[in-house]
């Protein structure tokens, strides 16, 4: 290169700005879970770590991930012992994955599993990782029970005392009344109401009938039973501790049988029963996600793509909105951003925390006043085709180990889309604290 005489150096090329990365498509490769078990039953002695490990091991085996170093594993549990602060990482270390696979614990009540999926999917979309596993686990049989707050504070003072005498003095301050247990309760901290009590209010305010709830419940059991019958779950479930199917499933569930049950929420005239509400349960689920390149390179199948997600919160503390109504707000945002309507979906996976919750949400989407006043829409979102709702059963039948539900839904929906070979599915999960987590999945 000819340089003018005064220039004794070559001009360095402009430093290149890192290119703004466009989002990449995120492939859902597959999932694995253990059958869900009713509380204090089949998994009474299993810990969260045991169950998550079982679900993860099954996934690793199914997709030959032994020794593989994945981008990240994200999972969580709603009810967790303090000692399990690094539960997911510990489970990864105990698995056949490469020990260099990082892991993170995340929690968002019943939204945990789906939020973990969103977390991994976003990292893949941004090119930060190529592959990852999302999961969740919960046990109400091995729940963390703490000592009473008064006793704990006084014991902390004992611990902080410098001399033996001080320690004795601190110990003597403990009164019999301080001794007690702090058992975790399914209760909103700010209202003191359990989730069922909250939903009883919401269902009442939306005029949700007992019959409609029982019908949804029967459909959930029938759909789940049918899915088992046709072997749908054969490559989605690994048996655990002698259990091969969700043991909450009642294939013979019927409206007549359900009609006999007494209400458990909303007083003696309430509409919510033990059948049309999800039971406390134990279980774990996992989902394998990857970039398209990674999937191709590793010869992994692509069941579907994880397209987009939306999390919303509602103010429920003074009864401004129902505790579990956040998905009713999240879904329209998600649809609008993707230019979609309900007619564009082939499957709707609405988490059945309570039949009443699903029906309240559906009714809100159809309701002209809710759409106008709360969503600012002149035309309602409208009704969904009920034949597309929870086609392989929902939480009412499968049960709902809080953090494990998201993974169950993502994997099942991806597989259903893959079987159909085209189409789109919507996921909607309500969570404690007035949270709603929603997502769109598309066939590959």
Partner 1 sequence: MSDTYLKFANSFVGKQLAPRLGLPQPPVLKRYVPGQKAVDGAVLVGQAEGGRLATAIAGVLKSADADVWTAEGPLRDAAGALDLTPKIYAPETAGDQRFQALVLDATGIAHPDELQALHAFFQPVARKLRPSGRLLVLGTPPESLTAGGRVSQRALEGFTRSAGKELGKGATSNLIYVAEGAEDQIESTLRFFLSPKSAFVSGQVVRIGVGAGKTAKVEIDWEKPLAGKVALVTGASRGIGEAIAETLARDGAHVVGLDIEPLAADLKTVTDRIGGSAITLDVTADDAPEQLAKQLKADHGGVDIVVHNAGITRDKRLANMKPETWDQVIAVNLIAPDKITLALLKGKVLNRGGRIVGVASIAGIAGNNGQTNYATSKAGVIGLVDAFSADIAAAGGTINAVAPGFIETQMTAAIPLGIREAGRRLSSLGQGGLPIDVAETIAWYASAGSGAVQGNVVRVCGQSLIGA
Query: Is position 200 an interface residue for partner 1 (rule: CB under 8 A)?
Result: yes
Looking at 345, 370, 381, 409, which residue binds partner 1 (CB under 8 A)? Answer: 370
Dist. CA 235–CA 416, nearest whole Å: 12
Dist. CA 159–CA 169, nearest whole Å: 12
Tokens 């007690």 identify what position? 180
CB of 203 to partner 1, least distance (A): 7
Between 210 and 400, CB nearer to partner 1: 210
Query: Is position 354 an interface residue for partner 1 (rule: CB under 8 A)?
Result: no
Query: Is position 204 an interface residue for partner 1 (rule: CB under 8 A)?
Result: yes
Q: Which stretch binds partner 1 (CB under 8 A): 147-155, 156-164, 324-332, 361-369?
A: 361-369
Query: Is position 382 an interface residue for partner 1 (rule: CB under 8 A)?
Result: no
Looking at 64, 149, 205, 293, which residue binds partner 1 (CB under 8 A)? Answer: 205
Q: Which stretch binds partner 1 (CB under 8 A): 176-184, 201-209, 217-225, 419-427?
A: 201-209
376: left (phi over 0), alpha (psi -120 to 50) or beta: left
Query: Is position 415 an interface residue for partner 1 (rule: CB under 8 A)?
Result: no
Beta bridge partners of 341: none
Looking at 159, 163, 369, 387, which residue binds partner 1 (CB under 8 A)? Answer: 369
CB of 26 to partner 1, least distance (A): 37
Query: Is position 206 an interface residue for partner 1 (rule: CB under 8 A)?
Result: yes
Between 208 and 243, CB nearer to partner 1: 208
Query: Is position 368 an interface residue for partner 1 (rule: CB under 8 A)?
Result: yes
Active site residue 430: yes
Between 210 and 415, CB nearer to partner 1: 210
Query: Is position 209 an interface residue for partner 1 (rule: CB under 8 A)?
Result: yes
Query: Is position 294 an interface residue for partner 1 (rule: CB under 8 A)?
Result: no
Looking at 67, 207, 239, 382, which residue binds partner 1 (CB under 8 A)? Answer: 207
Looking at 210, 221, 400, 424, which residue binds partner 1 (CB under 8 A)? Answer: 210
Burial 164-203 (b: 16+ CB within 10 A, else e): eeeeeebeeeeeeebeeeeeeeeebeeeebbbbbbbbbbb
Query: Is position 32 an interface residue for partner 1 (rule: CB under 8 A)?
Result: no
Instruction: Show the binding pattern over residues 251-290: x = contacts partner 1 (CB under 8 A), - = does not.
Output: ---------------xxxxxx-------------------
Query: Is position 320 an interface residue for partner 1 (rule: CB under 8 A)?
Result: no
Q: Of the listed 110, 198, 221, 223, which one is catalytic? A: 110
Active site residues: 110, 400, 430
Q: Which residues are near partner 1 by CB under 8 A?
A: 200, 203-210, 266-271, 319, 367-374
């Amino acid at each position: 290169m000819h340089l003018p005489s005064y220039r004794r150096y070559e001009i360095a090329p402009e430093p290149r700005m890192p290119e703004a990365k466009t989002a990449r498509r995120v492939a859902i490769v597959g999932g694995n879970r253990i059958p869900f078990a009713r509380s204090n039953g089949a998994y009474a002695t299993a810990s969260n770590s045991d169950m998550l490990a079982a679900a993860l091991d099954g996934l690793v085996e199914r997709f030959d991930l032994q020794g593989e170093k994945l981008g990240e594993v994200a999972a969580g549990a709603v009810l967790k012992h303090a000692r399990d602060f690094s539960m997911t990482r510990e489970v990864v270390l105990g698995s056949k994955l490469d020990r260099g696979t990082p892991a993170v614990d995340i929690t968002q009540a019943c939204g945990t599993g789906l939020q973990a999926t969103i977390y991994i999917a976003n990292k893949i979309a941004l090119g930060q990782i190529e592959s990852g596993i999302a999961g969740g686990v919960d046990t109400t049989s091995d729940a963390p029970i703490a000592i009473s707050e008064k006793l704990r504070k006084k014991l902390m003072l004992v611990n902080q005392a410098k001399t033996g005498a001080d320690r004795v003095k601190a110990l003597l301050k403990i009164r019999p009344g301080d001794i007690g247990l702090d058992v975790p309760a399914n209760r909103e901290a700010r209202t003191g109401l359990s989730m069922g009590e909250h939903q009883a209010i919401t269902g009442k305010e939306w005029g949700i009938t007992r019959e409609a709830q029982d019908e949804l419940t029967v459909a959930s059991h029938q759909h789940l039973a049918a899915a088992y019958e046709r072997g749908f779950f054969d490559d989605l479930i690994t048996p655990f501790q002698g259990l091969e199917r969700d043991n909450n499933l009642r294939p013979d569930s019927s409206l007549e049988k359900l009609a006999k049950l007494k209400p458990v929420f909303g007083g003696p005239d309430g509409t919510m029963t033990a059948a049309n509400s999800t039971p406390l349960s134990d279980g774990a689920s996992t989902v394998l996600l990857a970039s398209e390149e990674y999937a191709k390179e590793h010869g992994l199948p692509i069941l579907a793509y994880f397209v987009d997600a939306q999390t919303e919160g509602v103010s429920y503390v003074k009864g401004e909105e129902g505790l579990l109504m956040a998905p009713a707000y999240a879904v329209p945002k998600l649809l609008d951003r993707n230019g979609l309507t309900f007619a564009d979906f082939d499957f709707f996976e609405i988490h059945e925390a309570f039949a009443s919750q699903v029906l309240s949400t559906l009714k809100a989407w159809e309701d002209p006043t809710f759409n106008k006043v709360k969503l600012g829409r002149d035309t309602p979102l409208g009704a969904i085709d009920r034949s597309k709702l929870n086609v392989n059963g929902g939480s009412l039948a499968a049960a709902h180990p809080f953090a494990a539900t998201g993974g169950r839904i993502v994997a099942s929906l991806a597989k259903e889309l893959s079987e159909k070979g085209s189409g789109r599915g919507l996921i909607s999960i309500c969570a404690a604290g007035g949270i709603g987590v929603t997502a769109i999945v598309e066939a590959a």
